[in-house]
Amino acid sequence: MTAHLQLSDVSVSFNGFVAVNALNLAVGKGELRCLIGPNGAGKTTALDLICGKIKPTAGSITLRNTELTALEEHQIARAGVGRKFQVPSVFKELTVRENLQVAYSKRTGVFANVMRSCRGEETDGLDMLAQLVGLENALDKPAAYLSHGQTQWLEIGMLVAQDTELILMDEPTAGMTAQETLKTADLFNRLKGKHTLLVVEHDMGFVKAIGDVISVMHQGRLLAEGTAAEVERNEEVRRAYLGSGGITGA
């Protein structure tokens, strides 16, 4: 199988400190991949490299067969990579509906056509999307009045509306209630297949609820890969997490 997203021997240093060290990572199309690892492992830096916020000092990053390292950040976004940030980039003064409309207006290509063909008598694309992210009853609410969880879901909905092929998320459940976390796991499970997702997450309960394959990073490298059970009983992974409260408590 050719990977949808492929990182090959990717490295980056900050003032001589190697944060990502010859990292290899392959994610298949439509896959929902979790990326875990102890603090400072290089997870956020890996996402920064993929979306072009920082440039690698060595290695290659491809989406389909497009070399992303040769592109500027905005070109990488146009190539289909979207990042969900810790502080959501929604327009607070606009309603949920208006935010989704803004996102739709940025979309290109296939998804636009799919949405048009779905635009039937009963439901239009925007309502379907609002339903997907659980905001169907909040469409006319200004984003400023959404709960923390709802704001995260709106931002995810905006990435979907923009026809984002690869969605990158850094600790999306941080600050969410247990119930919001469950709903988010459910949402991710519905997004996979149509989108490729790479999710950095500390909450192992969440990881188990969503992750098919989990990649573990340590000291800038890929340490292990497998199911939650495989990763949890891996001796090297256990050792990497020593001193940080263990893998489940991380």
Ligand X SMILES: Nc1ncnc2c1ncn2[C@@H]1O[C@H](COP(=O)(O)OP(=O)(O)OP(=O)(O)O)[C@@H](O)[C@H]1O
Positions that interact with Mg ion (CB under 5 A): 44
Selection from ligand X, Mg ion, none that 83 binds (CB < 5 to 8 A by kind) is none
> Nearest-5° angle of CA 198, CA 204, CA 208?
70
14 binds ligand X (CB under 6 A): yes
What DSSP designation does 145 have? G
Residue type, 234: N
CA pair distance 116, 118, nearest whole angstrom: 5
CA pair distance 133, 147, nearest whole angstrom: 13
By CB under 6 A, the count of residues binding ligand X is: 11
Least separation in angstroms between residue 45's CB and Mg ion is 8
Least separation in angstroms between residue 133's CB and ligand X is 25
**Which residue number, 130 or 247, has a Cβ lying nearer to Mg ion?**
247
Rg (the chain; Cα; Å): 18
Least separation in angstroms between residue 35's CB and ligand X is 9
Buried b (16+ CB within 10 A) or exposed e, 6-21: bbeebbbeeeeeebbb
Q: Show contacts with ligand X in window 63-82 (CB under 6 A).
A: none
What is the x/- site pattern for ligand X, positions 38-57, by CB under 6 A?
-xxxxxxx------------
**Which residue number, 126 or 202, has a Cβ lying nearer to ligand X?**
202
Selection from Mg ion, ligand X, none that 45 binds (CB < 5 to 8 A by kind) is ligand X
37 binds ligand X (CB under 6 A): yes
Phi, psi (rounded to 5 degrees) for 177: -75, 165
Report whether 199 contacts 144 (CB < 8 A).
no
**Which residue number, 118 or 174, has a Cβ lying nearer to Mg ion?**
174
Give the residue carrying structure tokens 């999306």: 172
99 binds ligand X (CB under 6 A): no
Task: Report how far Cα 29 is from the mean position of its chain's Cα atoms.
Answer: 14
Residue 51 exposure: Cα atoms within 13 Å on the Cβ side: 20
**Which residue number, 45 or 95, has a Cβ lying nearer to ligand X?**
45
Residues forming contacts to ligand X in the complex (CB under 6 A) are 14, 17, 19, 37, 39-45
